Structure 1
Amino acid sequence: MPVRRPVRSTLAAAAVALLSPTAVACGDAGGLRGAGATAPAVSPARLWPDLRPASSPAYSYSPATREVVKGITVPGGNIRKVDPVAVVEAEVKARPDDYGSKGPYHATVDRLKDCRPGGEGVRCPLLTPYYRDFTGGGRDDMTLGFRLYPTNQTAVRVYTVEKHQLVQVLADNDAIIGVELAGRSLIVRSPANISGYEYRTTWVWDPGQRAMVFSRDEYLHTDNGRHAKSPSPTLSAAPVG
């Protein structure tokens, strides 16, 4: 089960307090005015030079995910010929602790049946698959998204092909309001617990770990100013390929 970011509500509140316009300039009548003499540039000051080195590594956002998907074949090594529904079904089968009757996503199993012919399509949790070369190998990789019930989170998965085997190289579950593809990066947008802010996490391919790893985690202000507690059930990425 993917590991998510630690709770940062206190840090978020502090950030908003520091960025608040009322804390910067009260009673500003508008217009241009001088800010005074420019302070000379000063190199960074090193604090606590005698600080003892840490005895353990920093908190890891999420371990790199790399796993061969059992029971799935890749005809001709072409990932576009892989059945996305079968890929999700394989995950359900391989993870009974998550999708079993007592698992946090148990209701997903029943809805997954509606992804097959004869099912009630509107109940299918699988979102449109997207294809892009993340690894730099010159072939498409596959990004899947599907809703998790009853939590209403969204699962984001990235798969590549190695020696005719389907390999999962990213697994991320979270409350998500959008996913974007930018070059060879995948950006996940999640709601923050403060109105007008959101988290944006960027994942990129790491040749050393042969998996997608996060390269940037941002806490950004949004222009709409609304509290995003109810994420959209759709991905915001555009079709690729």
Structure 2
Amino acid sequence: MRPQRRVTRRATAALVAAVGATLLAGCGTDGGRLRSAGPAPTAIGPARLWPQLPPASAAPYDYGEGATARIPGITVPHDDVRALDPVAVVQADLMATTSRSSGSDELPADTVRRITACRTAPDACPVLQPYYRDLTGVGRDDMVLGVRRSDGRLSVRVYMAHAGALTRIMAVSDAVISVELAGRDVIMRVPSAITGYEYRTVWSWDGRQHAMLPTQDEILRKTQEAEPTARPSAEPSPEPTATSPSPAVSEGRR
């Protein structure tokens, strides 16, 4: 049996060598030789301009980050924000004091009047239906609310419950193309003054600041969608896996 096994191994090795030679002979029109694709462009590293200038130590304008507020008069049983009345939340929010002197999206007086009159004039109430998503990663839902402003912009607000109290962790207004929930992010898209482009801002929870912060802010070519109307739609689908969007951008950016 041993001689037979040795013969078999030799035959197999010879067959593999023959097949390999055939394949090599048939590769390419130049007998398998590599051909140059031409000279590669020279890599150019980044060059710092005006290195003598001192770096800035503060932003030129307030972007609204960290402008949180405890909502007075609202208790959240079992920290379940789904049990809350969205209109009552926004009405109570009108009395809230932000953690910073600026940065919250102050609502126009006419919008405030319509919010106050939501019970008696529900058809004119600017508070949109809420959406729910665990944006803070604590294992329970937060509330995402939209308020249609009288100036055509949309105020996007996020509220979280903790220890039976309610805190606003995001408030920003802008002319909105769309607002989306993606994972634990709020993605906002707004028009740009540059023709054919739009802003896209991603807001994410920051556990150190205890607020939703703009973690990505970019300008992109417009997608092929219908142009936004002056007012965002008031009737989104009830429980979105992905809702509509818009970037929260301050006036100084555009």
Tell me the TM-score normalized by structure 2: 0.67
Which residue of structure 2 aligns with residue 30 of structure 1? none
Shift of 1:47: 3.2
**Structure 2 CA distance for partners of 1:110 and 1:61, relative to 1, 3 Å:** closer
- Cα RMSD of the aligned pairs, angstroms, is 2.8
Number of the residue aligned with 2:78:
76
Q: Distance in 1 between matches of 2:127 and 2:195?
A: 29
Cα shift readout 1:28-79 (whole Å, capped 9, x = no counterpart): xxxxxxx974303233233344x24325323353331221100111022111
Of 96, 108, 113, the residue aligned with 2:111 is 108
Q: Distance in 2 between matches of 1:69 and 1:166?
A: 6
Partner of 1:140: 141
Structure 2 equivalent of residue 124 of structure 1 = 125
Equivalence map 1:8-27=2 (5 Å): none
Cα distance, 1:231 vs. partner?
A: 4.9
Q: CA deviation at 1:169?
A: 0.4
Report how far residue 188 of structure 1 moved. Answer: 1.1
Number of equivalenced pairs: 196
* Counterpart position of 1:232: 232
Against the structure 1 CA distance between its residues 41 and 210, is the aligned structure 2 distance closer, same or farther, given a 3 Å change threshold? same
- Tell me the equivalent position of 2:152: 152
Counterpart amino acid of 1:192?
S
Moved more, 78-87 or 229-238: 229-238
CA distance in 1, matches of 2:49, 2:113: 56
**Residue equivalent to 1:203:** 203
TM-score scaled by length of structure 1? 0.70
Q: CA deviation at 1:110?
A: 3.7
Q: Does 1:57 align with 2:62?
A: no
Displacement of 1:228 in angstroms is 5.2
Cα separation, 1, equivalents of 2:199 and 2:237 = 17
Question: CA 1:110–1:231 in 2, change beyond 3 Å: closer, same or farther?
Answer: closer
For 1:115 and 1:36, the matched residues in 2 are separated by: 70
Give distance in 2, aligned partners of 1:195 and 1:225.
Answer: 15
Change (3 A) 1:193 1:44: closer
- Contact 2:176/2:228 (CA < 8 Å) preserved in 1? no
Give the secondary structure class of the aligned counterpart of 1:107: helix
Paired AA for residue 200 in structure 1: R
| Secondary structure, counterpart of 1:87 in structure 2 | helix
Percent of pairs with identical residues: 43
Give deviations 1:85-143, integer Å, cap 9, x for gaps: 00111122447xxxxxxx86121234335643xx4543221111011111110110110
The SS at the match of 1:41 is: coil
Q: In structure 1, how many angstroms separate the alpha carbons of the residues matched to 2:220 and 2:236?
A: 18
Provide closer, same or farther for how the CA distance between residues 228 and 77 of structure 1 changes in structure 2, counting only shifts above 3 A.
closer
Instruction: Give the whole-Å Cα distance in 2 for the aligned partners of 1:91 and 1:56.
Output: 32
Change (3 A) 1:122 1:196: farther
Where in structure 1 are there 5+ consecutive unaligned residues?
A: 1-34, 96-102
Say whether the 8 Å CA contact 1:180–1:188 is kept in structure 2. yes
